[in-house]
Amino acid sequence: MFNIGDYVVVRDDLIVGREYSGDLFSPRMKKFAGKKGRIISFTKFGYKIDIDPIHVYTKEMIKRDEEKHENDSRLVGITWID
């Protein structure tokens, strides 16, 4: 499970046209494979990422980015805190 503000990486081994947790990985999502982003919202189907706020990515399509980020802030509700 991921939270708003978490850093993630879109898995680079995803196959276009395949379903992951019931959602299709589309050709338009392919260009984000291997890219790092941040969770900006979630629905019952998956997560929206700042690098591609149009599509929903399921938990199978992303993995946690374990890299330490400079000036890391967490989004709580609608307020950034350091």
Residues 22-68 have pLDDT tens digits of 999 999 999 999 999 999 999 999 999 999 999 999 999 999 998 87
pTM given for the model: 0.81
pLDDT reading at 82 higher than 60: no
Q: What is the pLDDT of residue 32?
A: 98
| Mean of pLDDT values over 68-82 | 53
Burial of 20 (0-12, 13-18, 19+ CB in 10 A): middle
What is the DSSP pairing of strand 36-42 with strand 23-24?
A: unpaired
Mark residue 48 as left, alpha or beta (left: phi above 0; alpha: psi -120 to 50; beta: remaining). Answer: beta
What single-letter DSSP state applies at residue 26? -
